[in-house]
């Protein structure tokens, strides 16, 4: 949690002082403090000032909650938010910005709001009913592979060019909400799978923090380094993530992994089969991976490739978690993918390809090698 707090503070400092254009004047701290006014910014900037400090209050409350009561955790989060905001506002005197007490008030409001959300997260995370035999030590390396595939996929379009305009655009989805409920469900399902994998790998004591780290890496990475960063649908999915985790873990007739597995199979089927558009059989099957990209002269689409690897790894891992042997899970996923590729031979505008089955088999063999390596290390 301290590392998360430092990361959030770093983002706040960057967003508040970038591009660090220090002017020639060097007033004393008292003189600089006197330059603060109650000037109001635009409504968009006011909302950004609130939102920027929400993660700070959230992380501070989770960090302090074991040592302080709820009331004092919230109050201390607000005080730390005010002190940080006031320090940054005074620093803005030296970087040709307009310091304002109004910004301090809005930042405090954001920190307090984040603290309340943090208390809710802390309470609801305790409602997740893990099995009695949940491991106390870090475990499933294939779950860790799945988490890494997710992070790399979401950050693959990284660009090291950073600007204040880019940071403001990253908050655009919060200022102009455009919700697609289909995308909300899609993102929620993907994040649920990542959450289950994270909780499976991390120990019982560290599962909550590990999940927050994964969310923070993806969110902060996309805000700072990927364009476009997010859309409103994914942000809403993240809001619904913890309640969804609590709900599926509370079900008695169906396990969380079974729900995720059925949903992932449905999602993959929708992506690969719809719209159906059946026609007469036409044999058009590529027996060499990427032959369609090569003939079209297109460059390798890393985003699509990583998405494919993540989906196949997720399906295999969920089958394994649903009490199927890993080898059989690999066979089942490869067979399903081949079946869909053959079905494409009856669809208008589609053709079969060996590319997806080859990648499903490749990621499956990698997961088998990881499991074999873990078993050998245990035996040693």
State residue 213 phi and psi, 5-degree precision: -65, -45
Task: Report whether pLDDT(288) > 60.
Answer: yes
State the residue range of the domain holding 204: 139-250
Closest CA to 216 of 62, 68, 76: 62
Q: Is residue 130 part of a domain?
A: no
CA dihedral 246, 141, 271, 157 (to 10 degrees): 100
Determine the pLDDT at residue 21.
67
What pLDDT, in 10s, does the model give residues 119-169?
A: 888 887 777 765 544 444 457 889 999 999 999 999 888 776 666 666 666
Tell me which of 205, 224, 250 is where a domain ends: 250
Question: Which one is predicted more confidently, 347 or 144?
Answer: 144
What pLDDT, in 10s, does the model give residues 324-343?
A: 899 999 999 999 988 888 88
Rounded to the nearest 10 degrees, the angle between the axes of helix 181-201 and helix 141-154 is 140
Say whether both 38 and 76 belong to one domain.
yes
What pLDDT, in 10s, does the model give residues 179-212?
A: 888 889 999 999 999 998 988 887 656 777 888 8
Gap between the Cα atoms of 368 and 320, Å rounded:
11
Task: Report whether pLDDT(286) > 70.
Answer: no
Say whether both 52 and 77 belong to one domain.
yes
Say whether both 11 and 66 belong to one domain.
yes
Gap between the Cα atoms of 290 and 286, Å rounded:
9
Asked if 193 and 260 count as a contact pair (C-beta separation under 8 A), the reply is yes
Cα 228 → chain centroid:
14
Point out which residues pair with 353 in neighbouring strands. Answer: 286
Q: Is residue 58 part of a domain?
A: yes
Closest CA to 366 of 138, 141, 139: 141
User: Considering only 13-22, 239-248, 253-262, which range has the smallest mean pLDDT?
Assistant: 13-22
Asked if 300 and 293 count as a contact pair (C-beta separation under 8 A), the reply is yes
Gap between the Cα atoms of 338 and 354, Å rounded:
8
Cα dist from 146 to 139, 178, 333, 363, whole Å: 13, 29, 15, 10
Query: Across residues 38-58, what is the average pLDDT?
Result: 79
Q: Is residue 17 part of a domain?
A: yes
Say whether both 206 and 315 belong to one domain.
no
Q: Is residue 194 part of a domain?
A: yes
Q: Is residue 352 part of a domain?
A: yes
Tell me which of 250, 284, 304 is where a domain ends: 250
Q: Provide the number of structural domains found in the chain.
A: 3
Question: Which one is predicted more confidently, 346 or 367?
Answer: 367
Peptide bond preceding 112 in cis form (omega within 30 of 0): no
Round the average pLDDT of the chain to a whole number and report it.
79
Q: Could you tell me which residues come within 8 angstroms of residue 348 by beta carbon, excluding any fewer than 6 positions away?
A: 277, 278, 279
Question: Which one is predicted more confidently, 204 or 257?
Answer: 257
**Greatest mean pLDDT range, 38-42, 166-170, 235-239, 314-318:** 314-318
Determine the pLDDT at residue 132.
46
Task: Report whether pLDDT(289) > 80.
Answer: no
Query: Across residues 84-88, what is the average pLDDT?
Result: 86
Determine the pLDDT at residue 264.
87
Task: Report whether pLDDT(108) > 70.
Answer: yes
Q: Is 20 exposed, middle or buried (0-12, 13-18, 19+ CB in 10 A)?
A: exposed
The residue with tokens 């090291």 is: 160
């Amino acid at each position: 949690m301290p590392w998360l707090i430092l990361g959030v503070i770093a983002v706040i400092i960057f967003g508040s002082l970038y591009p660090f254009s220090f002017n020639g004047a060097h007033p004393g701290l008292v003189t600089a403090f006197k330059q603060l006014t109650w000037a109001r910014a635009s409504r968009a900037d006011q909302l950004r000032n609130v939102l920027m400090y929400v993660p700070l209050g959230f992380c501070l409350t989770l960090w302090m909650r074991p040592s302080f009561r709820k009331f004092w955790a919230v109050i201390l989060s607000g005080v730390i938010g005010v002190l940080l905001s006031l320090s940054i506002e005074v620093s803005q005197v030296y970087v040709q910005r307009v310091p304002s007490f109004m910004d301090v008030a809005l930042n405090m409001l954001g920190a307090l709001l984040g603290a309340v959300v943090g208390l809710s997260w802390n309470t609801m995370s305790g409602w997740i009913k893990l099995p009695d035999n949940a491991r106390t030590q870090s475990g499933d390396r294939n779950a860790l592979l799945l988490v890494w595939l997710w992070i790399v996929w979401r950050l693959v379009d990284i660009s090291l060019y950073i600007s204040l305009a880019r940071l403001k655009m990253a908050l655009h989805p919060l200022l102009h909400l455009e919700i697609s409920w289909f995308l909300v469900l899609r993102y929620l399902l993907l994040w649920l799978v990542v959450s289950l994998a994270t909780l499976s790998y991390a120990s019982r004591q560290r599962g909550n923090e590990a999940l927050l780290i994964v969310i923070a890496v993806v969110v902060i990475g996309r805000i700072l380094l990927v364009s476009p960063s997010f859309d409103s649908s994914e942000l809403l999915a993240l809001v619904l993530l913890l309640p969804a985790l609590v709900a599926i873990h509370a079900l008695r007739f169906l396990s969380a992994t079974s729900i995720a597995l059925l949903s992932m199979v449905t999602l993959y089927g929708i992506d690969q089969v719809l719209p159906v558009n059946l026609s007469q059989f036409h044999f058009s099957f590529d027996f060499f991976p990427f032959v369609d990209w090569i003939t079209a002269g297109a460059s390798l689409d890393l985003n699509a490739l990583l998405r494919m690897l993540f989906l196949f790894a997720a399906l295999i891992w969920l089958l394994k978690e649903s009490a199927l042997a890993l080898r059989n899970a690999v066979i089942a996923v490869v067979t399903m993918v081949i079946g869909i590729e053959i079905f494409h031979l009856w669809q208008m505008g589609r053709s079969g390809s060996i590319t997806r089955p080859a990648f499903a088999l490749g990621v499956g063999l990698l997961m088998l090698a990881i499991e074999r390596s873990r078993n050998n290390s245990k035996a040693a």
